[in-house]
Structure 1
Amino acid sequence: MRYLKSAFLLVLVFQFSACTWLDSAKEPVVVAKPLSDQREYRYTELPNGLKVLLISDAGADKAAASLDVNVGSRQDPENYQGLAHFLEHMLFLGTEKYPEAGAYQAFITAHGGSHNAFTSFEDTNYFFDISADSLEPALDQFAQFFVGPLFNAEYVGREVKAVNSEYRARIKDDRRRELAVFKSQVNPAHPFAKFSVGNLQTLHSSDEQALREQLLAFYQKNYSANIMSLTVIGRESLDALEAMVLPKFAGVKNQQRELTSIAEPLFKSEDLPRWINIEPVQNRRALSVNFPVADAQPHWRSKPLNYIGNILGHEGEGSLLSLLKAKGWADSLSAGESLSYQGGAMFGIEVALTEAGLKHTDEIVALIYQSIAQLRDGGVERWRFAEQAGLAIQGFMFRAQPAPINDVVQLSMALQKYPAAEVMRAPFLMDDYQPKLLTEFLAAMRPENSFITLVAPGLETNIEVPRYQVAYSKRPVTAAELAALRPGVSGQLSLPAKNKFVASDFSLKAGEGDGKPVQIADASLELWLNTDDVFELPKGRLYLLLSSAQASGDVAALAKTEMWLRMVKDELNELTYPAQLAGLDFDIGVDWRGIEISIGGFNQKQGELLEQILAALKQPVWQESRFARLKAQRLRQFENAARQSPYRQLIGELPRLLNRQTPSLTAHEAATRNLTMPVVAAHVSEVLKSLQLRMLLDGNFDRQEALGLAAVANKVLPQSQGGQVPLQHISHLPAGVSLRELPAEHDDSAALLYLQSAQTGKQARVAMGLTAQILSADFYHQLRTRKQLGYVVSASVYPQREVGGLIFLVQSSVVDSATLQKEINSYLKDWLQGGIDEATFEQHKAGLIKRLGEQPENLWESAGRHWQDLLENYSGFDSRDLLVAALTDLSYTDWLAAVKRDLAADSQRGLLIYAAGKWPAARPQGEVIDSGDQFKAKLPAYSFK
């Protein structure tokens, strides 16, 4: 065994911190990295001021890059709000060196990659990943966005409509609506007050020439190399990466852009305290109390807002959430930094209210103030800071490496905030305990400095923010009211106790075998073990399947099991929250197989956590008030599902039409509404009599530990003899297109066309997957960029076990659903007639083979793959190998025949799910489905164990 004990770890951490901070520009920067990170790092700064972090990962299957510009909606001109976001859209539409719009996207997709960008208040970030051997040409195209973009005039009108479609698509998103109200309340002189998304009006779409001139001026002023940071991950050596990357970005112009902190206060002194009531679209009740505070970023080694948020947001015994749940007033609570910018920040506490809690909002606000006062008066203690600091640094030192595309985004943004040597460790580091600083931040969190928001249906409102059609009102907070809200003295709240789940043993177990799980024959249940020797982390993932046909055999059983598991998770919350803080997560869910439990994190304490979970599962505390609260919460979720964005509703409806075991929303809601606690308790007793157990331990576990954990599971939940084996049934669609309308409450129309392969098996699956890869970028370019049908446009593969399928999805604010169907079918007809030559086929085939052959990025992905294979009965853990073999054997002729068979209009086997939006009279073509459950019941089905 290899040992790394905690005492040695802490010495190592802080010694390493001292020796890696290099101030001299002449010496190389040594980047602090996690213990298990074998990659090599190099930081450099180009002559133009652009900051670059290069990461060499010799074994990488994927390369990735992200460039962050320290400019966002904050810099939007007052009379062109949304311009930074519009620029982000326009940047992808051709450069001097690569003038063809859509070429970059097509190249990335053809080589197994993905790409995107986002605009925030102070940053715009562009990123991609790609097959590792295609980094250089992808990077060459990527760099040209910042060297020689064209901003072609012909795309200005189209892309401003895309921005407007994005705005329209989320006009009923409650978070966007609440943000719009908040922006209307802040100091108008503060740049956060601006409308960051943009639309046809704010971007003056009627004058395209003026808009393009504004765009060019904004780019030339703000896209300056000295406020850019770039991160690149590749398999090449650091020297090779430097030779590849630096020349490509040397041409980015340095406009000597200087950024200063925002001097204007977020709120004027007379604006606070303020109480706002907002009417939501969804059935949502939330109370939040926010406080403008000083900028915490300069204190990143102390992290005052992290410390405060960790304590106020604690969910253990004696916490604010625990008290609110006991009173029946809250479902959940979160606390932390809610806004951060150069010059200031906000700290907020948000409570998800029950219906009863809505009647006690003043008391809840008073309890929030009380919890802050309690922390200020007795919670600023060195041992609490040390505990948080230790957990944070453990999280860093044993960090599971993210996927490259996520890693480069995080690091490119971190380069804007932290010294290069600390770019990885800084978000975790808390090595500077400053009690006076903590007290100063807590002093700002006083009732007089509060911005309070209450969101709930039925609130009286008399003001509107027209842009998002959101109604709100201001509730006066007089001196007398403020006095009434002030905290009293109460012993109901207490500060968190010391965390008993903190790991102390980081020894690594010796791996055996070939990196695949092996079955342990003499275990008390079906037990599989993979002792990891690749990622070298003192962590692991435990999976436990309680297989039972009774758990979800019909919609009534499913609803009962769901409520049972919700009761268990809620009961466990106080006990297990400290475990989550200490790096242990868990989940419990139900599907057609039965009940699935997963535990992940440091392996040392997983046995203790498993015992608590299983004990609560076997004998829940049957409490009527908890049952009523959780049932009401579940019913709200059903109600709100019908108020999501149209495209989300369509995606959610598809598995309900394809999978026999997935009930309709209506049936599921009705079954839940009829539940009583005695009925659920009786159901639990029956399910516990019919369990078959299957366990996988993947990570830092050895054989003895695995046998012990299996014995715990079988002791608490003994297996039954025999029992019915659950099967999964997937609808075998008939020839033609079946039509399902969803009554989405939104002006936009939307259409989702799902096409099912006429054949089953791996070759049919990979044929569909290859088709999706070949046409997805072009489908997006034609329907979104060229025709401007909507912001949400995508084509993707949708396999269900051995049943191949494709999805074509569009949400539109400009045409009806019948037109969307015609446009999708017209695209497919043109695409089939245009043909795909064999060379293109082979290029994409090679790219997909590489993608399927990619090794897991981290321990969690590896364990997840193994578990999925085990569930789907690939005991050789070779599902991807089998897909690669099928794809390797797929000829151009066979693929083309399959494509014509499955995509041609006269031979489709499909589902067209749509939302009419503001065009209720428009009806797409197809056989109407009146009842999803009846539709499935009449069809034959593919069955899988």
Structure 2
Amino acid sequence: MKYLKSLGVLVFVFLLAACSGLGSDWLAEKSDSSAVLKPASDQREYRYAELENGLKVMLISDAGADKAAASLDVNVGSRQDPRNYQGLAHFLEHMLFLGTEKYPEAGAYQAFITAHGGSHNAFTSFEHTNYFFDISADSLAPALDQFAQFFVAPLFNAEYVQREVNAVNSEYRARIRDDARRELSVFKAQVNQAHPFAKFSVGNLDTLQSANELALREQLLEFYRKNYSANIMTLTVIGRESLDELAAMVLPKFSDVKNRSRHLAPITEPLFTAGDLPRWVNIQPVQNRRSVSINFPVPDAEKYWHNKPLNYIGNILGHEGRGSLLSVLKARGWADSLSAGQSFDYQGGALFGVDVALTESGQKHVDEIVGLVYQSIAELRLKGVEAWRFEEQAGLAMQEFMFRAQPAAINEVVQLSMGLQRYPAQELLRGPYLMDEYRPELLAEFLAEMTPENSFISLVAPSVNADIEIPRYQVNYGVREVTADQLTALIPMSTEGLDLPAKNNFIASDFALKKGDGSVGPKLLADAPLELWLNTDDIFELPKGRVYLLLESEEVVADADRRAKSDLWLRMVKDQLNELAYPAQLAGLDFDVSVGWRGIQISVGGFNQKQGELLRELLTVLKKPEWQQDRFERLKAQRLRQFENAARQSPYQQVVAELPRMLNLENPGLKAHEAATKAATIAAVADHAQAVMGQLHLRMMVDGNFSEGDARSLAEVVTTTLPTATERRSPSQFISHLAVGTAVREIDAEHDDSAVLLYVQSAVKGLQARVAMGLSAQMLSADFYHQLRTQKQLGYVVSASVYPQREVAGMIFLVQSPVMDPASVQAEINAYIQQWLKTGVDEASFEKHKAGLLLRLAEQPENLWDAASRHWQDLLDDYLKFNSRDLLVQALTDLSYADWLAVTQRDLGAGQRALLVYNAGKWPQSQPKGKPSGEPARFKEALPFYRFE
């Protein structure tokens, strides 16, 4: 392609993975044609194999990996649910974890994964069910042996049928007020009811006919026998073993998965039948939010995966730069954000959508907004299908592929197992990025489907007319009568300011790798006029990096008033920068500006070549924003809606969010923060910004593909743009030191479920307490989940996890329950903890878990961004040797069984220092035991605190 050639110094080198013959009878064939195209920076080895049973496998050898991971994808989901057992695929996903013939103990798999430093999960979608885990690299073989048995000989024990169908029902009820699910239920009611997407995919007690356990289990077994077939399964495994060792470890374990020759034909039923469109529905949300979505049914685009026509169209319509649809809508005060692209796809069809987040003014002009969307599509159809645009998009996508930072192993295996269902093995890595042929006629075909008469419009807003109810999600909606002619008439006479995107000037062209001086870790280059640190990466070998900058100031979050003003100031900055920064983001650059207890944190990341340009623009706007009243009012209203909507989230989300407000001095209570935001004026925010900028101390880290000269040049951008730095006056972080006993904080979530979060804080600060708490959390988390969720069926949301803050150790126990009041949930949590302490953990178990946690703490960064983030966090926490993890490893190494037992008995036993945050749900009279805390500010004022600088 012409564009790729024009990049000059960029050489697209593909390495073929090693692919030796296996000589094993479970392989259908062995051939060098199975080599995987990969970026030159990817040092892993790949091997594709297809077993005799038809199961497709990708093995990935990563010799330096600390974590191994695996994912198996079944090309089956809620699409295959029987009409009279809707939610069955999801229910099966739950049941598969509860024992196999070889490993019959329910919960044993979860306990093994947790004990060896790993995590696990699964999900069910319309056409896929995916199971995955990660684990310490030396424990892959036994974990895979248990994992494989899910697909060879699961038990589906009758004793767990009712328990797990209750869990599915709890999951449904936990999200009954989730707006995304409510809106989806309205959409499902509008589509062709003969289409399988119309079915209720989550399932509940009614749709799964839970009253007849015997029949439900038989349906479950039949579904598994029919659909869980090796020929529609794909498996990806990452391990540090060689490819031959991985093949010998993995392939025999999955060779016994039965091939039932399952054939999946495309769906022939249309998503909408003739005469269904155009259609407009109005939906009342739970949260105070407004949006309009315009969706168009289009043909299945999967066979065009190497052209990606819908990506091309979505990239232009969803552009946020000057002249874009979003730019025009923001200028008129009608929108906060916009997205465009493929919103749903299945075997046989797809949906393409444009979604606009509206302001209150935008809701009043929604007809004009819909008309502008139609006009934008018409303009794209008329003059936007151009070769140079396609080549620019294709080139950027290929840059992204060639210099991709490897995601965490658990995320990688999920992406790749699903990708094996879609792409040829050779293109598994490159396939999601490939745009190799400009086909204007293909783009025209898809654009021809995006017409007013072929559109489905949904307006979500609190005040819309909605006289139809869907009881399952307690959602009201209404249908607005509209004809194709009426929609066409919405196209505005004036489209002033609307234009197609210009050429992108942020595209990188220099991909040379910089060499460091051989030193390990960041080094200090200067301490005035700013503190400057540099780490030149020599591990990941990518032409990328990240610049961190801290504008340290005590004024930023000194109280709720100043925190609210800081927040509004930075929102003004980001909104003003959006048009400029969006092309940079498309070209592989990103930025963030955020408020923290230390001051204002800024980061710029991506290809290192043009970071200086973006950083200068960012700091210029930060120092002197355009103080536009209209923009301020729009962003302030958006922020106030967020406060309002925080009280309408799921109960478990609200109790988790309340915890740092109760513990950290710099985090104001929700009401105080909201009141301060309401009171803020543009003049007060501008004065506050000027005051902050007048007394800064600057700390900067340049991490990645940067030389010393690069770091000093970037530092010069900062010092020539921002005011002269002051002497360092470090802000302090204050963390409440809880008293013995239980303080109780009630929040009022608008939900019938109860939710209880019990936070237990260690009696003393220090690394010993941190590692002891971390070890306890690892030991009991899987069992806590199994006992309270699976055995006692308290609810879908059940977890126990460590919650450290600096050197203050803590642990949280969380339950959201549709069946039990908060006082009883509290009693169950405390009873579990005391029973666990009473039963005890023997020294052998302690040593096993300790070894697993040591491996987890010693894990090296998985990618460039992880490494840079660790360095920056250590700098902020004043670990100037960048050894925080080493110190934790040493503390854990030194922790004896006797020491751990003493710390655990002290902190989790009768002398607990605890804070309990709860929602009463439908049990308003239920009162958990403890002393009422009062509002966050008052609670924190009455307590001593730990101080960190």
TM-score normalised by L of structure 2: 0.97
Q: Which residue number in structure 1 is paired with residue 791 of structure 2?
A: 786
The CA RMSD measured in Å over matched residues stands at 1.6
CA drift of 1:932 comes to 1.3
Secondary structure of the residue aligned to 2:764 is: strand
The reply to whether residue 930 of structure 1 matches residue 930 of structure 2 is: no
Partner Cα separation in structure 2 for residue 133 and residue 787 of structure 1 = 34
* 1:776-829 residue CA offsets vs partner (Å, 9 max, x unmatched): 000000000100000000000000100000000000001111111000001011
Unpaired stretches in structure 1, ≥5 consecutive residues:
none
Q: Which residue number in structure 2 is paired with residue 214 of structure 1?
A: 219
Partner Cα separation in structure 2 for residue 626 and residue 312 of structure 1 = 23
Q: Which residue number in structure 1 is paired with residue 900 of structure 2?
A: 895
The reply to whether residue 820 of structure 1 matches residue 825 of structure 2 is: yes
Name the stretch that deviates more: 48-57 or 553-562.
553-562
- Choose from 558, 563, 572 the match for 1:558: 563
Quick one: structure 1 residues 844 and 479, their matched pair in 2 at CA, closer, same or farther if it must change by over 3 Å?
Answer: closer
Partner Cα separation in structure 1 for residue 385 and residue 14 of structure 2 = 23
Secondary structure of the residue aligned to 2:32 is: coil
Residues 80-119 of structure 1: pairs in structure 2 closer than 5 A:
80-119=85-124
Residues 783-862 of structure 1: pairs in structure 2 closer than 5 A:
783-862=788-867
Q: Which residue number in structure 1 is paired with residue 205 of structure 2?
A: 200
Residues 689-838 of structure 1: pairs in structure 2 closer than 5 A:
689-722=694-727, 724-838=729-843
The reply to whether residue 52 of structure 1 matches residue 57 of structure 2 is: yes
Partner Cα separation in structure 2 for residue 464 and residue 507 of structure 1 = 60
CA drift of 1:617 comes to 0.4
Q: Which residue number in structure 1 is paired with residue 12 of structure 2?
A: 12
The reply to whether residue 305 of structure 1 matches residue 310 of structure 2 is: yes
CA drift of 1:491 comes to 4.0
Secondary structure of the residue aligned to 1:128 is: strand
Secondary structure of the residue aligned to 1:660 is: coil
Q: Which residue number in structure 1 is paired with residue 505 of structure 2?
A: 500
* 1:222-247 residue CA offsets vs partner (Å, 9 max, x unmatched): 00000000000000000000000011
Partner Cα separation in structure 2 for residue 345 and residue 7 of structure 1 = 34
Quick one: structure 1 residues 525 and 697, their matched pair in 2 at CA, closer, same or farther if it must change by over 3 Å?
Answer: same
8 A Cα contact 2:294 2:370, kept in partner:
yes
Quick one: structure 1 residues 678 and 259, their matched pair in 2 at CA, closer, same or farther if it must change by over 3 Å?
Answer: same
- Choose from 318, 321, 333 the match for 1:316: 321
CA drift of 1:332 comes to 0.3
Question: Counterpart amino acid of 2:567?
Answer: E
CA drift of 1:29 comes to 1.1
Secondary structure of the residue aligned to 1:473 is: strand
Residues 536-615 of structure 1: pairs in structure 2 closer than 5 A:
536-615=541-620
Quick one: structure 1 residues 727 and 874, their matched pair in 2 at CA, closer, same or farther if it must change by over 3 Å?
Answer: same
Q: Which residue number in structure 1 is paired with residue 331 of structure 2?
A: 326
Q: Which residue number in structure 1 is paired with residue 23 of structure 2?
A: none
- Choose from 106, 109, 134 the match for 1:129: 134
Secondary structure of the residue aligned to 2:672 is: helix
Partner Cα separation in structure 2 for residue 36 and residue 11 of structure 1 = 12
Residues 243-642 of structure 1: pairs in structure 2 closer than 5 A:
243-488=248-493, 490-521=495-526, 524-642=529-647
Secondary structure of the residue aligned to 2:762 is: strand
Partner Cα separation in structure 1 for residue 135 and residue 937 of structure 2 = 41
8 A Cα contact 1:6 1:506, kept in partner:
no
Quick one: structure 1 residues 274 and 5, their matched pair in 2 at CA, closer, same or farther if it must change by over 3 Å?
Answer: closer
Unpaired stretches in structure 2, ≥5 consecutive residues:
20-27
Partner Cα separation in structure 1 for residue 661 and residue 15 of structure 2 = 56
Name the stretch that deviates more: 811-820 or 5-14.
5-14
CA drift of 1:724 comes to 3.6
Secondary structure of the residue aligned to 1:356 is: helix
Q: Which residue number in structure 2 is paired with residue 917 of structure 1?
A: 921
Residues 36-185 of structure 1: pairs in structure 2 closer than 5 A:
36-185=41-190
Deviating beyond 6 angstroms after TM superposition, the runs of 4 or more aligned structure 1 residues are 14-17
Partner Cα separation in structure 2 for residue 734 and residue 26 of structure 1 = 67
CA drift of 1:929 comes to 1.4
Partner Cα separation in structure 1 for residue 29 and residue 382 of structure 2 = 43
CA drift of 1:507 comes to 0.2
CA drift of 1:432 comes to 1.2
Partner Cα separation in structure 2 for residue 494 and residue 6 of structure 1 = 26
TM-score normalised by L of structure 1: 0.98
Secondary structure of the residue aligned to 2:917 is: strand
Quick one: structure 1 residues 522 and 662, their matched pair in 2 at CA, closer, same or farther if it must change by over 3 Å?
Answer: closer
* 1:388-414 residue CA offsets vs partner (Å, 9 max, x unmatched): 000000000000011110000000000
8 A Cα contact 2:10 2:511, kept in partner:
no
Partner Cα separation in structure 2 for residue 754 and residue 222 of structure 1 = 43
CA drift of 1:492 comes to 2.5
Name the stretch that deviates more: 536-545 or 30-39.
30-39
Question: Counterpart amino acid of 1:12?
Answer: F
Question: Counterpart amino acid of 2:819?
Answer: V
Quick one: structure 1 residues 567 and 47, their matched pair in 2 at CA, closer, same or farther if it must change by over 3 Å?
Answer: same
Partner Cα separation in structure 1 for residue 737 and residue 449 of structure 2 = 62
Question: Counterpart amino acid of 2:82?
Answer: P
Partner Cα separation in structure 1 for residue 624 and residue 686 of structure 2 = 9
Secondary structure of the residue aligned to 1:264 is: coil
Partner Cα separation in structure 2 for residue 497 and residue 800 of structure 1 = 46
**Count of aligned positions:** 938
* 1:147-176 residue CA offsets vs partner (Å, 9 max, x unmatched): 000000000000000000000000000000
CA drift of 1:931 comes to 1.4
Question: Counterpart amino acid of 1:431?
Answer: D
8 A Cα contact 1:277 1:472, kept in partner:
yes
8 A Cα contact 1:370 1:488, kept in partner:
no
8 A Cα contact 1:369 1:487, kept in partner:
no
Question: Counterpart amino acid of 1:875?
Answer: L
* 1:653-688 residue CA offsets vs partner (Å, 9 max, x unmatched): 000000011000000000000011011111111111
* 1:509-529 residue CA offsets vs partner (Å, 9 max, x unmatched): 002234300000376410000
* 1:541-567 residue CA offsets vs partner (Å, 9 max, x unmatched): 100000000111111111111111000
Secondary structure of the residue aligned to 2:365 is: helix
Partner Cα separation in structure 2 for residue 179 and residue 142 of structure 1 = 33
CA drift of 1:719 comes to 3.3
Secondary structure of the residue aligned to 1:680 is: helix
Question: Counterpart amino acid of 1:913?
Answer: V
Partner Cα separation in structure 1 for residue 302 and residue 188 of structure 2 = 22
* 1:7-66 residue CA offsets vs partner (Å, 9 max, x unmatched): 45666369999x9xxx99643411011221100000000000000000000010000000
Partner Cα separation in structure 2 for residue 614 and residue 288 of structure 1 = 35
8 A Cα contact 2:907 2:913, kept in partner:
yes
Quick one: structure 1 residues 273 and 73, their matched pair in 2 at CA, closer, same or farther if it must change by over 3 Å?
Answer: same
Partner Cα separation in structure 2 for residue 497 and residue 631 of structure 1 = 31
- Choose from 889, 899, 911 the match for 1:907: 911
CA drift of 1:478 comes to 2.6
* 1:710-739 residue CA offsets vs partner (Å, 9 max, x unmatched): 111011113343364210000000000000
Secondary structure of the residue aligned to 2:357 is: strand
8 A Cα contact 2:394 2:434, kept in partner:
yes
Quick one: structure 1 residues 856 and 11, their matched pair in 2 at CA, closer, same or farther if it must change by over 3 Å?
Answer: closer
Secondary structure of the residue aligned to 1:815 is: coil
